[in-house]
Every structure is written in structure tokens, then in C-alpha cells.
Amino acid sequence: MMEVRLQAQEDEITLLKSSLADALRRLRLHDQLLPLLKQQLIAVNPAAARVLNQVCCSDGCTSSRKLSSSSAVDGIRQTAPSQLSDIVTNANGHIGSPVSTEPRPRPATLDRSTQTDPILPGQDAGQNRVPLPRRVQSLHLEDALLPGQPVEGTRAKLHRVPGMEEEDEEQEEDEGGGAEQEKELSWTSSVEEPIQPTTIRGLQREDFQDGSCSPEEQGSASPSVRTPDQNLSPRCGPLAPIQEVEKTPLVRRNSEKLGNPERQRKRLDKKAASSANLLTRSPSLENRAKELIASAGSPGSRRGTYSQGQSIKMFIRGRPITMYIPSNIQNYEDLKMEPPSERLELDWVYGYRGRDCRANLYFLPTGEAVYFIACVIVLYHINNRTQRHYRKHTDCVRCLTVHPDKVRVASGQTAGVDKDGKPLQPCVHIWDSTSLVTLQQIGLGTFQRGVGSVAFSFADSGVFLCVIDDSNEHMLSVWDCNKCTKHAEVKSTNEAVFAVEFNPSDSTNIITCGKSHVYFWTLNAGQFTKKQGIFGKYKKPKFIQCFVFSLTGDVLTGDSEGNILTWGKSAADTKTLGKGAKETFQIMRQTRAHEGSVFTLCTLQGGALLSGGGKDRKIIRWSADLAPERECEIPEKFGAVRTIADVDGEELLVGTTRNAILRGTFSDGFVAIVQGHVDEMWGLATHPSQNIFLTCGHDRQVCLWNTEEHTVDWSISLEDYGLCAGFCPNGSVVSVGLNTGRWMVLDLLTREVVSESIDGNEQLSVMRYSPDGSFLAVGSHDNFIYIYNVTESGRRYTRFGKCNGHSSFITHLDWSKDGKYIMSNSGDYEILYWDIASGCKLLRNRFDSKDREWASYTCVLGFHVMGVWLEGSDGTDINALCRSHSERVVAVADDFCKVHLFQYPCPKLKAPSHKYEGHGSHVTNVCFTHSDSHLLSMGGKDTCILQWKVIGGGAPDSRERLASASSTSTSSPEPATS
């Protein structure tokens, strides 16, 4: 069945190609006939006007009534010369109307993937259309010449013989492009002989032989007015353009004529291929064909007769998108694209990865907390509140450990993939935390998928590094840190591994734990031996989450049952294990510690122990003999305890499962010094006059951040998750769009919901206020843009209208500087313009909007940002962009974890840019602060917000740069992308 359906689709595609070839032939015929008719038919006997005005087509007519050839000749002889101008064909193809020089409208489409012949004025796309007779469709201008008259400029000689049209069609279909090339003739205006009356008689005879009738049979009604029982064409005459034909009649007609389906496909393939010959033969037809294809995606667009150099096309997934060049650009080809003089410098990192990583928070003697998120390792000075960043990793960091010297740090990353989907090689970096210089790179090309756990040896002052990768066998390897060589390797287990550590008193002993296991490894002469911990009479937990070594040398593990287990060596039970059994590691003591999992254990200098709980969110201090001494509970909004770092024996740093880092003591409690989202983020908006910004994401959190203090001013939880946001220009309220079609307006000071509405039941993608704050545009995935009147300083909203015209979901939109127009993009790569002041009216002629100035520029498709797209982009490679308020640069968020900074405008493809790394996931949004001092970028799955400082600048504004670049010619090559 799938093969049958596939074959049917291929047949339909072939038929569509054939119809396109037919349309191109007819358009070429018009290109040749119009100037000749205008110049030559005036010299013909004027009687032709009356005769041709009687030639019309009708569905209800039969071939029984025919006009004799003698009456046609008589009519031609009696026609006055003054009436001949009535038969001249105008630019729209009408006969019987004056010649018009108006641009020919671009036809609407029945199917977005194809476009055939024009729809006539006043004719609905769903109405039936009357095809002209076959002989009229294949009409060539040589029929208008005297027999034997030479034709100048022809490529081959061709004389049509009455009655041979059917044979010509068969030859055309069988021979494909070759026959087409011989039959199609090139005509020039040098033909000066008048068209003879016999030609008019032949046209009339061919018309009526194909089943059409005279005007007397049709009645006296106007051709443009249809009665219920008539389906007349508003265009009369054999030279009128062929109307668009419904797909069903088209399929039926071809199948009836060709018969055998296999033969039909073969012929139609050749017939469709002949369109290439037509394009190479006629430049004007080529331009029309390109416009024909480009307009297939926009039902409201019209075919324009724009001169060469006024538009340029870019292609996304093979689809052409027409960009109209602004009037102030004189020489588009001479535009020189350069990287912007501005650059970005990482200023601050918001967030922490505690949701799914363990043992990833340490305190250094420099007073800095070291932790990671995305591809960045952050060194945060907890007293000075400053950050430094280690940024040599190429993908998300997964694990971290500190060398015994408290200076060196080892960090491992995941493998990730490049932009082509090929896996990259994970590795471990050993770097200096003081200078941020990479000292060694270990295991490049050795580890699979990523590095899950790392640990330095202690007994020998950190000579060795133990690594466990994320392969199926979780390979355990030991490396010489100084030589960067592998010392030993072994398969550990197929189960998940959570932690690995060297015995602090013996570097030949290594312990690993994870799902349902705790293993004790011994390394001897490059070979590993493994002993599994015996649970014996104790319940085997599902997970061993963590472990530490006590001062007495015992191993303490925390498990998913909430217990702390003490392990020790004991003689083997020969009754159970048999003779010759060696010593085993068994549970010596079980201590009930927490409700839910014990996520972390931390030993203090005096031998005391700290444990952090999951479900109960408690931190408990234990004495050396595991007697509880003190406890506290962290606030619920921060989640469970993920890891604990000791600062000075009293003060602690606590990483939580909701991506926060807390600082505090048992007596004073804990406050957050680092916060972040815990799920994918999409909504980002910066305040119009203050150094604050708002974010929202799938974790249902809405957070207001301060870019100067680097803190969260406030956060609230919603019932649904937010996907977009926008500040009112007065700065007092902010609107947030949700995934359910609902949107709300929040007061920044009180955090209260001052207004709430719902538009459709699909997710909202963009919230954008007009520059003066009088309108709010809400873009939805239901393909509509909802417009609201805004009053009472952004606290009252009333529906103004709805923009209906996109055929896919709304992705981006921007207001014009005068607040009257909107430019919008959709998921199928449409660019549409709307006149909001005139009632949300779709502007069908996009050419008229080429010089309009926009208050913001966030649309990813447009002439001014065409150069941000890479060659071969599939349309989803760029998630967001934002033009700076100074209109000097544009920042781009792509799908390959990169932030780009381009010159604005950048209307030429392959424009160079500055590229910045740091995110470990697709970058979902970018936005400049109100003063353009900083750029904010937001990752998706990495839950990371990066604040970049904009440095440099001083270049002329965009209009000056664009005008100067287009007014001078240069032949120097474009600079390469940095």
C-alpha cells in the first residue's frame, strides 16, 4: 500500500510539473504575441474587430453551430480601421479592451506547492474554469504569416499543416525537450508583414471546431457577469491567457488522452522537462517563472513587473523567498559586508546545574565557589560577588573535582554533536584555577558519549586521575596526570555509575557506586580486580547515591532508602561463599538518616559528617560516631539538597536540585546566592528603561532579574508554562504568553495580574507592544496575530482586530516606528506585512514595505538580516535575533549552541560575524538591554542565561553605513567569518 501511495504521489508530481510546463509555454506565447499584435494588427482589414469580438468560449456550448469561413472573410472586409484597436490584447490578456500598461498581477494559488495560470479578475479560486480549445492553446505566431514567408530570428523552420495539431502534441510528448526546442520559435519585432485575413479565419475555425460557440448563443450578458446556469469565461478570444485549471480535471484530461499509465508518466516527464528549454530561451519568461514559483507560498501575493535589481531571492529548504531592496541601495552587488566593530565579552552566568549532576560544587582557598552550567565553569567569589569563567569546554560540562593542592581542577564534558549531527570527542581538562590556563587534556578520542565522573588520587598528592565514561560498559580508567597516559582500564558495569573516589590512604584502592551496587576495586600492575559490597541481611537499596571515607578508614554510603551504611572488611563466610573465599566488604552498621534519598555526604575537618536529604530537604550534622547533632531544612522552592561544600566548618554552600546555590549556617539559615531555571526557557524580554529583564520557561517560573546586581528581584509560579514576554513601553507592566493560548499582564512592583485574556487554544509565541504602547500584538500558533487596544497605562486591554493570512504558526513580529504596521514571520518562512491602523489589513504588495522603518527587528526573515543565514539552512537553524537599539549590530541565537554578532544591516548572504560559545544547548532567545550595554542570551535545555558585555563600537549608524556601502564599488573579497 505504501508503494502504491508513493507511486500515486509521484504521478501527481509529474502531472503538476507538466501543468507548469504548459503554463510556461502559454506565458511565452503571450510575451511574443502582445508587442506584435500591438504593432501589426492595426494594418489588417478592420473587419477583424467585429469577427474576433464574436469568438467566446462557454461550457454550455457545442460544436453544432459554426461560423462559416466565408462569413468571416466578409466580416473582415467590412470592418472599419478605427475599430481594430478594440482587438488589441492588453497586459492582462483581454481582447476587446484598450491596451494597458499596468503591472500584471501575480496570480493566486490553488495549491501552495504549485502555481499554474492566472486567476481572472472577479473570478473566485474555487469556480470552474473553461480551458481554451487545444488548437488555440498551441497557437504560434507563424500562423499569422503568409505561407512560405521567412521568419527572422527563428531557430528552426516549422509550418503548421491543418489537421496536424494532434500529431504535433504526440511528437512533443514523445521527444520531450528536443522536440520542444525545435517547435518553439524566437520572434522579434522585426516582423513587419501584416497578419492576413486567412489567419483570422483559421483562428475562428479552430475555436469553433473545439466546441465553443458564438456570442449569439451565449446571450447578451456581459462576459464578466455569470448567470447560475452559465459558467462563462470573463476573457474572450483565442489569444486570452489560459485560465488556472483545477487539479482533478487536469488529471482526468491527461489520463484520457494518454491511456497507459506508464506511458503517461513517461510522456509527462519529458513534457515537464521541456520547461527548462523554455526558461533558457526567454529571459522575461524566466523571470516570470521565478516569480510564479516564489508566489506559491503566499496566497495574497501578486505577480509584479519589477525591474531587475529591485529584489533578490534567498532559498530555505529549496523554497525561494523574495526580498525587496530598499530604495537607498543603488548597487546591491557592491555592498561590502564586514564583521561589526562591536564585540561581546562574557560578563555573568546565571544558573547552576544541580538538577541532574552530583558532586559539582567546591569551595577554593581563594574564597571562590567553583561550579558549572552549560559549557562554562564558574568561579564565583562569594564575598566580592564577582565571577570568573573557564570556557575551554566545547560542550556541556558533566563532572568536576579539585586536586589535593586546591589549585588544579579537573572537569569532564559530554561528547555532543556538531552542526552536521556528527558526534564530537569528549575529554577531561585539567586546568589552573588561578590563571584559568589549561594544563592537560586527557582522553581525547578515548571516552564514549561523555565523561560522567572524575577523581584525583590523594595518597600520592594527585598523581593519578580516575575517569568513568558514559558508554554502555561505563569504562573505568586511570591516567597519569603528568604524562597524560592511560595507566589502566576496565569495564565497570552496565548500570549507572554516580561516583568514583580513590581511597585517601591508598591509591591502589578505588570505589564506585551507582544503581544497586557499590564496588571496591584494587589496581595492581595495571590490572583491576573487583569486589562487590555484600548487603547480607540488609535491604538492598535501588541506588547508592554517594559515599565518603571516614577518619577511621571506613566507607560511608548514602542510599535511596534514606540510610547511611558503614562498610568494612571482614573475613569471608566460608559457609556461604565456599572454601577459599577471601575477605569481603560488608555492612557494619546502618543509620537511619533522612526521609527519601541521601543525596550527598560531606566530611568536616574534625571528623564530623554532613548529610543532605532529598524528600525532607534537611541538612544534618553527625558526630564522628554518627550521632545526630544539628539539623536544618532548606526552603521548599529551592528543591532538595544535591551537594554540600564546607566553607569554614560553620558556613556552608549548598547546591540544590532546583539549580540554586545557598549560603548559610545552621543557626542563621540559608539564602540563595545563585538561582536559575530548571527546564527549557524561551521567553525573554528586557525593560525599556531599567537594567532588568524577565524570563519564563517550561518550569512554570517567571523571574525578574537585575543585570547590575546579578540577582533575582522576584519570581512567581504559574499554572502553565510561559513561552514569550514583552514589556509595555512605559515599563510598569509586562505581558507573558503561555502555552495554552492564555496570556496575562503582571505589575512589576506588586507582581499582581492586572489583566488576563485567552486567544485560541494553542501556544503563544510572541508578545509585542507598539512603540507608543497603544497596541499589543499577540502571535499564536493558530496562525493568527491578535491585536489589542491598550489603555490605562497598560492595565486595560480590548480586542481591536485579528490578522488573518498566515498559513503556519507565527514565529516573530515587529512594529513599524510609526506604530501603524506590523511585519511578521511564520513557520513556513512567510514574510507578511499588515496595516493595523486600517483594520489589520494584509498588505498584498510587499514591495511597498521595502522602505518602511521598524521600531524593533526580531524577525529572522527580512532583507536587512538576510546575511545571518548559513548556506543550506533548513529554516530552523536560527531561533531568534535582535537588533540593537542603536541599529548598529544584530545578535543571532542559533540551533548549534552559538551566539553570533553581525553588522546591521547585513543583507548579503555569507555575511561575516563574531561567534561566541558558552551554551550547551540550542540558544532560544537573545535580547539587548535598553542602553545596548549588554546582550542577554538564553539556552534551551541547558537552563543557562548568559549576560554579555558589548564592547567597542563607534561605527556610523545603519543608514549611513548602508548608503555609503552601496554608493561605492569595490572588488575586494568579502572578509571571512571570524
Alpha-carbon dihedral sign for residues 847, 824, 884, 944? negative
Residue bearing cell 577511621: 552
Q: What is the model's pLDDT at position 871?
A: 80
User: What values do phi and psi take at 920, rounded to 5?
Assistant: -110, 10
Q: For residues 673 and 662, is the Cβ–Cβ distance under 8 A?
A: yes
Distance between CA atoms of residues 705 and 694, nearest Å? 6
Q: β-strand 475-480 against 464-469: which pairing, if any?
A: antiparallel
| Cα R_g (the chain), whole angstroms | 38
Is residue 769 domain-shared with residue 810, that is, in the same domain? yes
- CA 892 centroid distance within chain: 12
Task: Provide the 3-class DSSP secondary structure of residue 111.
Answer: strand
Q: β-strand 555-559 against 544-549: which pairing, if any?
A: antiparallel
More confident residue, 661 or 71: 661
Number of domains present in the structure of the chain: 2
Averaged pLDDT, 45-57: 49
Q: Residue 717: how many CA atoms within 13 Å on its side-chain side?
A: 6
Number of neighbours of residue 897 by Cβ within 10 angstroms: 24
Q: Which three cell numbers stand for residue 458?
A: 590523594
Number of neighbours of residue 336 by Cβ within 10 angstroms: 17
Is residue 683 domain-shared with residue 670, that is, in the same domain? no
What residue type is 296 in one-letter code?
A
Q: Domain limits at 360?
A: 352-384+634-674
Highest mean pLDDT among 178-187, 191-200, 590-599: 590-599
Is residue 846 domain-shared with residue 886, that is, in the same domain? yes
31 within some domain: no
pLDDT digits (tens, 9 = 90+) for 6-18: 888 888 888 888 7
Number of neighbours of residue 763 by Cβ within 10 angstroms: 21
668 within some domain: yes
Q: What is the model's pLDDT at position 348?
A: 97
Highest mean pLDDT among 86-90, 106-110, 699-703: 699-703
Res. 672: pLDDT tops 50: yes
Res. 152: pLDDT tops 80: no
Is residue 770 domain-shared with residue 683, that is, in the same domain? yes
Give the containing element (helix H, strand E) for 442: strand 438-442
Is residue 642 domain-shared with residue 770, that is, in the same domain? no
What residue type is 301 in one-letter code?
S
User: Which residues in 836-912 belong to E strands, given as ranges?
Assistant: 841-842, 878-883, 889-894, 899-903
pLDDT digits (tens, 9 = 90+) for 410-462: 999 998 777 667 778 899 999 999 999 999 999 988 999 999 999 999 999 99
236 within some domain: no
Res. 221: pLDDT tops 70: no
In this prediction, residue 869 has a pLDDT band, given cuts at 50, 70 and 90, of: very high
Distance between CA atoms of residues 812 and 854, nearest Å? 13
440 within some domain: no
Q: How far is CA 768 from CA 26, 504, 634, 745, 885, in A?
A: 46, 59, 39, 12, 15
The last residue of one of the domains, among 626, 642, 674, is 674
Q: For residues 375 and 390, is the Cβ–Cβ distance under 8 A?
A: no
Distance between CA atoms of residues 753 and 836, nearest Å? 27
Task: Provide the 3-class DSSP secondary structure of residue 851.
Answer: coil
**Among candidates 66, 64, 46, which has minimal Cα distance to 55?**
66
In this prediction, residue 526 has a pLDDT band, given cuts at 50, 70 and 90, of: confident
Q: What is the CATH number of the domain that holds 787?
A: 2.130.10.10
Q: Which three cell numbers stand for residue 836?
A: 493595523
User: What values do phi and psi take at 470, rounded to 5?
Assistant: -100, 20
Q: Any alpha helices (H) in 184-299, and if so which ranges?
A: 197-209, 215-218, 247-258, 261-281, 283-294
Is residue 738 domain-shared with residue 812, that is, in the same domain? yes
Residue bearing cell 554552600: 653
In this prediction, residue 583 has a pLDDT band, given cuts at 50, 70 and 90, of: confident
Is residue 901 domain-shared with residue 853, that is, in the same domain? yes
In this prediction, residue 170 has a pLDDT band, given cuts at 50, 70 and 90, of: very low
Return mean pLDDT, the chain.
77
Distance between CA atoms of residues 763 and 769, nearest Å? 18
The last residue of one of the domains, among 674, 692, 726, is 674
Averaged pLDDT, 332-338: 88
Q: What is the model's pLDDT at position 853?
A: 95
* Listed range (148-152, 315-319, 423-427, 801-805) with the worst mean pLDDT: 148-152
Q: For residues 207 and 56, is the Cβ–Cβ distance under 8 A?
A: no
Is residue 835 domain-shared with residue 742, that is, in the same domain? yes
In this prediction, residue 266 has a pLDDT band, given cuts at 50, 70 and 90, of: low
Is residue 773 domain-shared with residue 907, that is, in the same domain? yes
Q: Which three cell numbers stand for residue 686?
A: 528586557
What residue type is 359 in one-letter code?
A
More confident residue, 150 or 926: 926
Residue 506: strand pairing partners = 503
740 within some domain: yes
916 within some domain: yes
Q: If phi over 0 gives left and psi between -120 and 50 gives alpha, with beta otherwise, what is residue 760?
A: left
* Listed range (190-199, 342-351, 694-703, 863-872) with the worst mean pLDDT: 190-199
Residue bearing cell 499588515: 834
The last residue of one of the domains, among 613, 642, 674, is 674
What residue type is 286 in one-letter code?
E
Distance between CA atoms of residues 723 and 725, nearest Å? 7
Is residue 928 domain-shared with residue 843, that is, in the same domain? yes
Is residue 771 domain-shared with residue 649, that is, in the same domain? no
703 within some domain: yes
Q: For residues 850 and 840, is the Cβ–Cβ distance under 8 A?
A: no
Q: Which three cell numbers stand for residue 687?
A: 525593560
206 within some domain: no
Q: What is the model's pLDDT at position 16?
A: 85
Residues written for the chain: 978
Is residue 660 domain-shared with residue 771, that is, in the same domain? no
